[in-house]
Amino acid sequence: MIPNRRQQVQNGFAAAAPTILEITRDHETTIETLIDMGLISRRRACVDENCDGRMIWIQDPSKADGYRFRCRHCDATCSIRRDTIFQGSHLSLMELTRIYFHYFLRGISIKICARELALTKKTVGKLYSKLRSAISQYVTEFMQVEFMGEEPQDGPNVTEEHAYPVVECDESLFSHITQNGVREQVWVFGLYDRGSDECRLFVVPDRTADTLENLILENVAPDTVIYTDRWEGYRNLNNLNYIHRVVQHNRGFGRGLDTTNGIESIWSQIKRLSSVYRGIQGRGENARIQIQDYINHGVWLRHVNGNDAVEELAEVINSIFTRN
């Protein structure tokens, strides 16, 4: 049955012609592509902790992928998917590669993906969530560096304070959740660095000064010019080694350098890229985690814009999932 499923998927992909990715045109091509991308390996350390041998592939037509690992020293075996993003799925590598690098990467809905690949929405939804969580972890661990800033502008009309790094801060209401039977708002705090054009976004439990100040101290270097609105949570920034400037929103969003237009633009970009604008309804902290994953996914998409998205996604997977 397993080899028959491989053949069935392979034939289905071939029939899909012009829209199908070249790398998933057949099973062997998919495997070679995944090896080239570093997502699976031909060799690995033995899974037996008492053995220091190396494992290699051997053919096994009874397995879903047609191969398995075997240790040269102790004959221990394991799946070629072990310690990869593909571990634990019953789907073929052709299907998984197609889902991750075509449907998910291009923002194609779970419903359409499930229909075109003859899968359940629950199956596709779990795979989407798994990859979105990996992207979120990647953003947190590898992209959340301290804002050091750059000189955003130069010229005769630039005041002395604008020779310093400039960061814009703001909060935005993203969704609602049910916590202990009570419907609560979910706020996101954002930092936008004009010099690098990067942003950092955090789901926050509240908008108090303690919460906002701690995030600013953790992410923004001292002596940075910080633009905010008049929210009371920012009142103490001048006492925290920052140059605080307030934009009067009742007079518009400011002009020239005295503005928070950058972070306001981030909100619309992230809500569009992450589809958070559709609203994530949920209960408790799990819903907040989901919202943070969606937001980080949007941050990553914004960062990737203009780059090779397939290569960038492979980098995420290789950074998060263990390789041997």
Comparison of pLDDT for 234 and 284, the residue scoring more: 234
| Residue tagged 């053919």 (tokens) | 59
* Residue-level pLDDT at 286: 79
Percent pLDDT > 70 in the chain is 80
Residues 1, 82 contacting (CB under 8 angstroms): no
Sequence-distant (≥ 6) Cβ neighbours of residue 187 within 8 angstroms: 171, 172, 173, 174, 203, 204, 206, 207
Q: What is the pLDDT of residue 288?
A: 86
Closest CA to 165 of 191, 186, 139, 143: 191
What's the pLDDT at 106? 84
Using CB atoms within 10 Å of the CB of residue 236, give its burial: 0 to 12 exposed, 13 to 18 middle, 19+ buried: middle
Q: Which residue has the tokens 């934009």?
A: 247
Distance CA(259)–CA(237), nearest Å, equals: 17
Fold of 160-315: Nucleotidyltransferase; domain 5 (3.30.420)
CA angle, corner 315, sides to 289 and 144, nearest 5? 50
Whether the per-residue pLDDT at 283 is higher than 60: the answer is: no
Distance, in Å, from the CA atom of 97 to the CA atom of 46, rounded to the nearest integer, reads 26
- Mean pLDDT, the chain, integer: 84
Q: Is pLDDT at 11 greater than 50 in this prediction?
A: yes
Q: What digits encode the pLDDT tens for the residues 60-114?
A: 999 889 999 999 999 999 999 999 999 999 999 999 999 999 889 888 889 999 9
In the chain, domain spans: 160-315
Lowest mean pLDDT among 32-36, 192-196, 249-253, 315-319: 249-253
Residue 281 has pLDDT above 70, yes or no: no
Given a cut of 80, whether residue 54 has pLDDT beyond it is yes
Q: What pairs with residue 250 in β-bridges?
A: 252
Least confident of 62-76, 128-142, 194-208, 283-297: 283-297
Is pLDDT at 7 greater than 90 in this prediction? no
> 181 exposed, middle or buried (CB, 10 Å; 0-12, 13-18, 19+)?
exposed
